[in-house]
Structure 1
């Protein structure tokens, strides 16, 4: 049986996984009709089924400091059944290259280093590990995209069938013509998060306009969600759901607001209006590329010394966030 198909080994974090979908789009454009699968780590792999460019998602739950050779062999056996012709290893560490090697994929492309040859047998050279490029630049340079202009790259894209979106809204009690804001408040005490009084002011305003407010996140977000729920009536705590369900809800909302989190990248890739609150350097280093994102940026903070909770977003006011949300609602009403 001949080999065909491409395996992409992604980076582990949710935001980085989404940013790697730009590399997947470039590969898909170069190899039209060739199936592309992806190997990643949970929870980021929950994003994969929403990508129209990915056929199948393989999952390996990595453990820091562990080689886990037996578990990698098990995943490699499963990957090997697909008989891929090529693997692109976007991650740069040695362990990330093991599964394609063990699966017998003949062409294994990745960055040179960490003693990865011959595990990587088509190494790329030129990555400065002392001054590494941005995640997206690193991934696209691996594809021989030299002099990367981030603005010209295809942005990540995710999609969900309209029927699933409508069913989600119906399950959550959203009537026809009603609007939903999906808000990821972030972890209390995180320097990337908005201060709780600001979040409460934003949610109170949105609720006063009659919108549903879905508070989305995970366990770390729960204290902020509970504080908002105690201060504002009618909000929905959705932090107890699996990530796949949270992603569907983000896709089903009319607009999204959040700080520097993986779900902000997810929301941006779905193409709906997004208000993203970032510190200036992190916006450039790790922010979404999608043009539907409206950034509110704190450019007054020194990220190297700012350690206090909310210090990365201290200059972003609740009024500024509210103004962006109101503008988006106006534009939605005019469509």
Structure 2
């Protein structure tokens, strides 16, 4: 069986989509799964053993580009796919499998997708509260799975592959200290500071960890580099020698490898949080107005800290420097305590096993 997946365009969603690929391979071990996604996703897809190849989606997110989608679909016809899975809910995302003439096209009903999808499911949000459950459910006949409780357990979890050789070579490339265990910070987040734990709290936590013998690496994109610089600026000169700002200085694949090298990760609700979870790293996830109820980190090695409940609209500038008050109220001492307890539990479990 040859399968084409139209994948999502966000890091976190992309990571959770791996659970679908794992479920499909469990059902059809000989299946070939190709994934169409933005070119930047290739480093993630290359580390998913279930994926045969990544096909670059050259059309920007939000652009209809009907003619270009037709050309893409027509070019895919020679691959003779047996079925397609469309993970985004938009009309345009369902066009390429239709143009490609793929006989069975599966997805949740979204905006005007009758006909484009001929194996469509009507989503009941309450029946499938987690995004990963919605992805996995598409692998089964809709008559057999009407709610998340119908899904076979345990649910497949994202798992990226990284070799020890890659870790050693990449750590040396960025001059990470071999004598200090590494703690990763992911201080960035989409939608600006409203989803971010304050930089000054990250700096205070870095001081505590460096004093205990750790080194700290700051991960993120180029737009997170300034936040990383502000964190390091709050450290003493001696402390700063044990904290490196990698935001915007690594390729995505290098960031994945270095996250795999981390002893633990402290992170905002972000795409890199899901990457760290897929690397099975112990992590402390910090939530404010966004909720972990829909897209939590999919790992047993996570501690979630959130001081409020329910959904809160994300607004810029409603608190100090744009930070949400609920995130300001999470103290560095609280995070350090959770991190210490998490690492102790992980070590105890590993020794017992």
User: Structure 1 length normalisation: TM-score?
Assistant: 0.87
SS at match of 1:279: coil
Q: Structure 1 residue 71: deviation in Å?
A: 3.1
Q: Is residue 2:305 matched to residue 1:299?
A: no
Q: Using a 3 Å threshold, how does the CA distance of structure 1 residues 331 and 134 change in structure 2: closer, same or farther?
A: closer
Q: What's 1:85 paired with?
A: 82
Q: Structure 1 residue 74: deviation in Å?
A: 4.5
Q: Using a 3 Å threshold, how does the CA distance of structure 1 residues 171 and 77 change in structure 2: closer, same or farther?
A: farther
Q: 1:229 aligns with which of 227, 232, 245?
A: 232
Aligned equivalents of 1:279, 1:198: Cα separation in 2: 14
Q: Using a 3 Å threshold, how does the CA distance of structure 1 residues 327 and 168 change in structure 2: closer, same or farther?
A: farther
Q: Structure 1 residue 70: deviation in Å?
A: 3.7
Which stretches of structure 1, 4 residues or longer, exceed 6 Å deviation after superposition?
129-132
Aligned equivalents of 1:78, 1:165: Cα separation in 2: 38
Q: What's 1:115 paired with?
A: 112
Deviates more, 1:101-110 or 1:280-289: 280-289
Q: Is residue 2:202 matched to residue 1:199?
A: yes
Aligned equivalents of 2:155, 2:311: Cα separation in 1: 29
Q: Structure 1 residue 211: deviation in Å?
A: 2.0
Q: Does the CA contact (< 8 Å) of 1:12 and 1:42 recur in 2? A: no
Q: Is residue 2:220 matched to residue 1:217?
A: yes
Aligned equivalents of 2:256, 2:284: Cα separation in 1: 17
SS at match of 1:157: coil
Q: Structure 1 residue 320: deviation in Å?
A: 1.4
SS at match of 1:316: coil
Q: Does the CA contact (< 8 Å) of 2:186 and 2:267 recur in 1? A: yes
Q: What's 1:322 paired with?
A: 336
Q: Is residue 2:287 matched to residue 1:278?
A: yes
Aligned equivalents of 1:270, 1:160: Cα separation in 2: 8
Q: Using a 3 Å threshold, how does the CA distance of structure 1 residues 301 and 116 change in structure 2: closer, same or farther?
A: closer
Deviations 1:51-81 (A, max 9, x none): 1221211221443542113432454355444
**Structure 1 vs Structure 2 CA RMSD:** 2.9
- What are structure 1's unaligned runs of at least 5 residues? none
Q: What's 1:11 paired with?
A: 8
SS at match of 2:158: coil
Aligned equivalents of 1:302, 1:115: Cα separation in 2: 27
Aligned equivalents of 1:18, 1:333: Cα separation in 2: 26
Q: What's 2:267 paired with?
A: 258
- What are structure 2's unaligned runs of at least 5 residues? none
Q: Is residue 2:137 matched to residue 1:141?
A: yes
Q: Structure 1 residue 184: deviation in Å?
A: 0.8
SS at match of 2:298: coil
Q: Does the CA contact (< 8 Å) of 1:168 and 1:252 recur in 2? A: no
Q: Is residue 2:34 matched to residue 1:37?
A: yes
